[in-house]
Amino acid sequence: MPDLELTSTAFAEGASIPTKYTGDGASVSPPLAWAFVPGGTRSMALIVHDPDAPSGDFVHWLAWDIDPETGGLDEGAPAPTEGANGRGDTGYMGPSPPPGHGPHRYFHELHALDADLDLQPGASREELEQALDGHVLAKAQLIGIYERPELPEI
């Protein structure tokens, strides 16, 4: 069986994330689809982050309790349970790198799990990663790029 696969109809691996899914647009989550889920998978978890942020690795979305049988998440759809993003809010936060900071990579990391996680909504990335420990059957990744041009001087 092929490895777990994560794709989006909004952007291809390594391609630019359309403005609609960013802080410069509607900031809705992009549609995501997965395939080749390993046997024994009970739930899925998702971490979306920007390792290129000036403040360090910035979390844009933490999601878990996702039913593997759905095959994906629709555009703008919340996950069953969501954690705290880098601003401390729950849910998806679209890319919004500093203007003129260059291209940023947005890693969408999907985890197939052999268990349902006992984790409360609003949990941090550290709490989610700790809960994932020992339960990951497979992992898939999709990277999108977003860059904001430098603002013109006034």
The values of phi and psi at residue 35, to 5°, are -145, 165
Note the pLDDT of residue 154. Answer: 65
User: Tokens for 29?
Assistant: 């989550």
String of b and e for 111-128 (b: at least 16 CB within 10 Å)? bbbeeebebeeebebebb
Q: What are 39-65's pLDDT values in tens digits?
A: 999 999 999 999 999 999 999 999 999
| Residues 145, 12: Cα–Cα separation, whole Å | 10
In which band, very low, low, confident or very high, does the pLDDT at 149 lie, cut at 50, 70 and 90?
Answer: confident
**pLDDT for 83 beyond 70:** yes
Residues near 29 by Cβ (< 8 Å), separated by ≥ 6?
21, 61, 73, 75, 76, 77, 78, 92, 94
**pLDDT for 71 beyond 70:** yes
Q: What are 117-139's pLDDT values in tens digits?
A: 999 999 999 999 999 999 999 99
User: Tokens for 82?
Assistant: 């969501």
User: Tokens for 66?
Assistant: 């996702």
